[in-house]
Amino acid sequence: MKRPFALPRVLGVLSLLVCCASFSLQASPTTNLSLVGQGKMSWLFFDLYQARFYSVDGRYNANQYPQALSLRYQRNIDKEDLVEATITEWQRLGIDWKTSWQQQLAAFWPSVSKGDELALRVEANGVSRFYFNNSELTEISDPAFGPAFLAIWLSPNSRNPGLTRQLKGN
C-alpha cells in the first residue's frame, strides 16, 4: 500500500533543521565578526593559550563594538587560577574593577583543559557574553566590564606587548 506524500512532515523537519542551524550560528561568539589578529601567550617554556581578536570590519578600533576575544587553551588551568590572574591583571593595569565581577567570574567560569576555548563577545549595547566551547555561559550587563576585560590583552600596558600588537593586527 502506498503512503500519501507527507509534505507537512517534510516541511516540519526542514523547519526544525533551519531553526537548529540558526541557533548554532547564534551561539558563536564571532558571528558577523572578522578576525583582526591572533597570537599565542607563553610563560617560560610553556604555551598557555592561542588568542584571537575579532571586530566588525577586521580592524582594531578601541570603542567600536561588537568585538570578541577567544582564548584556546594549551594547558589545563583551574578556574580559581583564571579568576585570580584576571584580578591581578586588572590591578596591575590600574583598572577600577568591581568585586561583583570577581564573584560573577568565580560563579560561572569553568576550569579549562587543553583544547578548550573561552571567549568573550562585547556587544554595541555594552552587554558582555562569555562562551565556553561555543556554548554561551552567561552575560554581564555592566557596560564597563567588557572594555576592562579586553584591556588585559589590548591595553598598551598589557603584560605581553607583542601579543597585543598581533591581536590588533600590527
**What CATH number should be reported for the domain holding residue 96?**
3.50.70.10
Gyration radius of the chain's alpha carbons: 19
Percent of the chain residues topping a pLDDT of 70: 84
Query: Total domain count for the chain?
Result: 1
- Domain assignment present for 1: no
Q: Is the pLDDT of residue 113 over 50?
A: yes
Per the structure, the complete domain to which residue 96 belongs is given by: 7-167
In this predicted structure, what is the pLDDT of residue 53? 98
Q: Is the pLDDT of residue 49 over 50?
A: yes
Instruction: Detail the DSSP E strand segments found in the chain.
Output: 34-43, 46-55, 67-73, 117-122, 128-132, 135-140
Mean pLDDT to the nearest integer, 84-101 = 96
- Domain assignment present for 138: yes
- Domain assignment present for 83: yes
- Domain assignment present for 140: yes
- Domain assignment present for 58: yes
In this predicted structure, what is the pLDDT of residue 26? 52
Q: Is the pLDDT of residue 54 over 60?
A: yes
Mean pLDDT to the nearest integer, 137-154 = 97
Preceding amide of 66 cis, omega within 30? yes
In this predicted structure, what is the pLDDT of residue 44? 79
- Domain assignment present for 100: yes
In this predicted structure, what is the pLDDT of residue 79? 97
- Domain assignment present for 2: no
* Closest-CA residue to 84 (of 111, 102, 104): 102
- Domain assignment present for 153: yes
Cβ neighbours for 132, distance < 8 A, ≥ 6 positions apart: 110, 116, 117, 118, 119
